[in-house]
Amino acid sequence: MDLFSLTTKYNIPIILLVQVNRQGNENKGGPQLENIAESDAVAQNATRVITLKKEGPILTLNIVKNRYGDGGTQQYDVDYGKNKYKAVVDYTQTVASNRTTRTINPFRTGRTF
């Protein structure tokens, strides 16, 4: 709650890194909201929760909570030696009615870290 107060008072983004439990590492699509430490407080105060899962050269980003829209998933093939990445599949956004639509990629593929 203190971090949420800071972001609203000073109008700045705050990135909070939290650890996942063992079950979060076993999920195929990456950790879910209930797998992170202090998930109730994070879910209540966060605007967005994005989880990351690395399996070999594949990095999966999953938006598990988005206060102003739906979630989505994006996978990247990362070359850590050159610090380059490219999208494995098109970004898909999950719609509330359980169908998926292609949208503009908010993760901005093809750039260098």
In this predicted model, what pLDDT tens digit does every residue of 55-74 receive, in sequence order?
A: 888 888 888 888 888 888 88
Helix H or strand E encompassing 64: strand 58-66
Instruction: Count how many domains the chain has.
Output: 1
**In which domain, by residue range, is 42 found?**
2-102
* pLDDT grade for 105, boundaries at 50, 70 and 90: low
Place of tokens 């202090």: 38
Domain-embedded: residue 74: yes
Task: Name the token pair of 95.
Answer: 């719609």
% of the chain exceeding 70 in pLDDT:
76
Distance separating alpha carbons of residues 4 and 18, to the nearest angstrom = 15
Domain-embedded: residue 111: no
Distance separating alpha carbons of residues 1 and 46, to the nearest angstrom = 9
Domain-embedded: residue 18: yes
Domain-embedded: residue 107: no
